[in-house]
A and B are shown apart, each in its own frame.
Chain A
Amino acid sequence: MKRTATSYRYLALFVLPALAVYVLFSVYPLISSVFLSFFDSDDKAAGQQFIGFDNYVYLFTNPTTSERFWNALGNNVEFFLIHLLVELPIGLLMAALLTSGVLRKSTGAYRTLLFIPATLSVVIVGFIWRLLISPLWGVVDFPLLGNELTALPTISLMSVWQYIGIPMIFLYTALLAIPHDILEAAKIDGARGWTTFWKIKFPLIAPQFGLIVILTYIWTFNGFDIIYALNGSAPGPNYSTDILGTLFYRTFFGSSGQVANLDLGATVATVIFFIILVVTAVYFFVLQRRLKTYEL
């Protein structure tokens, strides 16, 4: 297609509204919060003072804040790993079953049922699960949410239960896109179900699988809602369910006893942003390129 001045003008016209909204509500706040993290605005009389990396130094060297930060980061890694090791394999299994043909006409019903939790409000999911496992009213006698060792895995599994439909639907559509003639060829060559799946189907959906891994990483490191809904902004017991999102919330907005600190909150937000940015960038530059997309 020949690109003329007019076509460029139309291109700009169509892109501009979305770009304006994106810049105003996403790029600008991001940059301004990075900006804010280099200032100290506690002293109202003196106004905002540029202090360089002092907020970062404070975050990582003050015994209290650094302990909370590393604790939250560790918990967040655990939160992610549980999603990675439980949600994705089960999602893949369900997607494989849905496309395998063994469910015949009930595929649609299963697909809908499995996806429904993802459409529920986090508050409702948290509330129902809290009741189910309450030592007073529920079916489990053990205080799962009250024990430092079990609280985080319990909440993670609730989240897995809720969002299992997302990787499932993602991989399901990828599996559906595989042309039938390839599978038929494999069948004629004598490949059985297991072999077909791992040698033919999975390599073909590997790029999508990689993408859902990195999306899960982004979602869990931006995670906040289910923990906040269940355990508030100082998630106990003894901060064992505190993740970066709740740490940020507590720092930026304050909690009952903690005074809100905008600069330090912005610092935490920036650190979270870089944790996500670095890993995502590494993934895209190093790994995603190697996951070859086969020309079909």
Chain B
Amino acid sequence: MRSRLAPIAAIAVTAMGLALAGCAGGGADSGDTTKLVLGSWRTEDIAMWEDEILPAFHEANPDIEVEFAATDTNDYNAAIQSQVAGGNAPDLITCRPFDVNRAWIEDGYFDDLTGLEALDSFTPTALAAWTGADDAPYCVPVASVLAGFYYNKAIFDELGLEVPTTQAEFVDVLQAVKDNGKYTPLALGSADGWQLAYNVLYSMGPNYWKGEEGRLGLIDGTQKLTDPDFVAAFQAVDDLKPYLPSGFEAITYDDMGQLFNLGQAAIIPDGSWNINQLTSTGLDVGVFGAPVPEAGDQRYQQEMPDMAIGLSADSKNKEAAKVFLNWLTSDDFLSIFVNKLPGFFAMTTDAPSYDNPLAQEFSDLKTDAELTPRLALDRLSAGTPPLDDEIWVALQEMYAGTLTPDTATAQLQADLESWYVPAG
């Protein structure tokens, strides 16, 4: 037995030896380039990074090579945690927003980036999702997503409707579509709780709780969900109920998109990430921001930080990594990134221009508005029960008629107080 296997083993070992020698030779040829590894959860963007972004970076910085190492979204947090624990963390780590990243900062995954040139391109709000307990920045923001109301221009023209700017106008437009009877006014279902929260409450609500003022007020305990501003926000969401399609309790996020896509609904509240799907049937679509309570009020726009990149504390090539991080705010990078991924937006103060007209329209929503991330994802959902999950359910119950804006907010505040101790 042994003697018969021996030749095969010998061949295998030789082959492996040759292969290894080949690898080593390849490495020696490009001896003076620095290699960086970028960890990410965007497996769907591998082609974009490898074919467009990284070659562009390599062209500008021939001595640095970056490898894009993507892990599936759901496994990403666990993968990074085990890589850091095992001492082979990627040099550049893509940062999750808010609480996960805060835990990573606390565990010493990142280097403090204070003083990095790239950070001058961002407002403190843009950086807030990735700061540590010491308020120091740890990641360079890359992309955010926005929420708004898409509308079918053909239906608006047919019924002679104007894009609404106030809540009263909004309800009038919905009523007009309903009275006409041909179309569903609002493509919205409550089967998926997350989207009631992310695309409706967290989009309309900031106009009532005044964006960051209300959000930070909840975090430091100076405001409560039972305050009139928050109750009014829930009320504004409840006001939309008469304009939903029948059987909306069982209509999912995908159903809504199809209803709008088929030209059967006038308006759909959705996120910017869905631009390509919602226009895939060739509809002429526009987008407007969440309406304000009264004419002349300040407008607030939900901008959810999605992606940033930080520097691993264990990296052996920190100088090269900083060159890459600074490049993330360059036009070279941003123009490729935002145009290859319509629906994802640069967070820099000087916005690049967008080839996709709808993306440009979305981006324009940011110009006269104050920006604010989703209400409950920062600190308020780091305990049991998480406020974000509770809000999903409360909104579903409000639409089902078992809760009112008053009882919903009262219940949510009680659930929050059961574990959350305000930072302030």
Task: Identify the A interface with B (CB < 8 A).
Answer: 44, 62-65, 130, 133-137, 141-148, 234, 236-239, 255-259
Contact = CB atoms under 8 A, between A and B. Distances in A.
Contact of A237 (B247, B385, B396, B418): B396
A236 B399 CA distance: 13
Given A135-B246, A143-B247, 16 more contacts: A64-B418, A142-B247, A143-B250, A145-B249, A146-B189, A146-B251, A237-B190, A237-B191, A237-B393, A238-B393, A238-B396, A238-B402, A256-B194, A258-B389, A259-B99, A259-B386
Contact of B397 (A237, A255, A258): A237
A145 B246 contact: no
Contact of A143 (B248, B392, B402, B415): B248
Interface residues on B, range: 35 or more
Contacts of A147: 249-250, 400
B388 A257 contact: yes
Nearest to B376: A257
A143 B400 CA distance: 11
B255 interface: yes
Given A148-B400, A257-B381, A63 B255 contact: no
Given A134-B251, A148-B400, A239-B393, A44 B418 contact: no
A238 B248 contact: no
A238 B251 contact: no
Contacts of B189: 146
Nearest to B396: A237
Nearest to A133: B250
Contacts of B377: 257
Given A237-B396, A237-B397, A258 B386 contact: yes
B408 to A, nearest CB: 12
A82 to B, nearest CB: 19
Interface of B: 99, 107, 189-191, 193-194, 245-252, 255, 258-259, 376-377, 381-382, 384-389, 392-393, 396-397, 400, 402, 415, 418
Nearest to A232: B192
Nearest to A239: B393
Contacts of B382: 259
Residue with the greatest number of chain B CB neighbours at <10 A, chosen from A136, A142, A236, A258: A136
A237 B401 CA distance: 12
A64 B191 CA distance: 22
B386 A257 contact: yes
A256 B377 CA distance: 10
24 contacts: A64-B418, A134-B255, A135-B246, A135-B250, A136-B255, A136-B258, A141-B247, A143-B247, A145-B191, A146-B248, A146-B249, A146-B251, A147-B400, A234-B389, A237-B393, A237-B400, A256-B194, A256-B388, A257-B377, A257-B381, A257-B389, A257-B392, A259-B99, A259-B382
Contacts, number: 94
Contacts of A236: 191, 193, 392-393, 396
Q: Which 6 A-B pairs have the closest CB atoms?
A: A135-B247, A146-B249, A146-B250, A143-B250, A257-B388, A257-B386
Nearest to A151: B250
B190 A63 contact: no
B377 to A, nearest CB: 7
A277 B418 CA distance: 34
Contacts of B245: 135-136
B26 to A, nearest CB: 39
Given A63-B418, A64-B385, A236-B191, A136 B247 contact: yes
A150 B393 CA distance: 17
A231 to B, nearest CB: 8
B7 to A, nearest CB: 30
Residue with the greatest number of chain A CB neighbours at <10 A, chosen from B249, B388, B400: B249
A137 to B, nearest CB: 8
B250 A145 contact: yes
Residue with the greatest number of chain B CB neighbours at <10 A, chosen from A65, A147, A259: A259
Contacts of B107: 44
Contact of A62 (B99, B246, B248, B384): B384
Nearest to A234: B389
Residue with the greatest number of chain A CB neighbours at <10 A, chosen from B250, B376, B386, B415: B250
B104 to A, nearest CB: 11
A146 B191 contact: yes
Nearest to B377: A257
A233 to B, nearest CB: 10
A234 B381 CA distance: 15
A234 B251 contact: no
Residue with the greatest number of chain B CB neighbours at <10 A, chosen from A236, A257, A258: A257
Nearest to A147: B249
Contact of B193 (A62, A142, A234, A259): A234
A147 to B, nearest CB: 6
A67 to B, nearest CB: 9
Contacts of B190: 146, 237
A256 B393 contact: no
Nearest to A258: B386
Contacts of B376: 257
Contacts of A136: 245, 247, 251, 255, 258-259
Nearest to B194: A256
B386 A237 contact: no
B389 A255 contact: yes
B195 to A, nearest CB: 11
Nearest to A62: B384
Contacts of A255: 389
A236 B247 CA distance: 15
B194 A141 contact: no
Contact of B247 (A63, A146, A257, A258): A146
Contacts of A239: 393
Contacts of A133: 250
A65 B384 CA distance: 8
A261 to B, nearest CB: 8
B393 A258 contact: no
Nearest to A259: B382
A57 to B, nearest CB: 14
A26 B385 CA distance: 32
Contacts of A135: 245-248, 250-251
A53 to B, nearest CB: 19
A143 B251 CA distance: 8
Contacts of A130: 252
B202 to A, nearest CB: 13
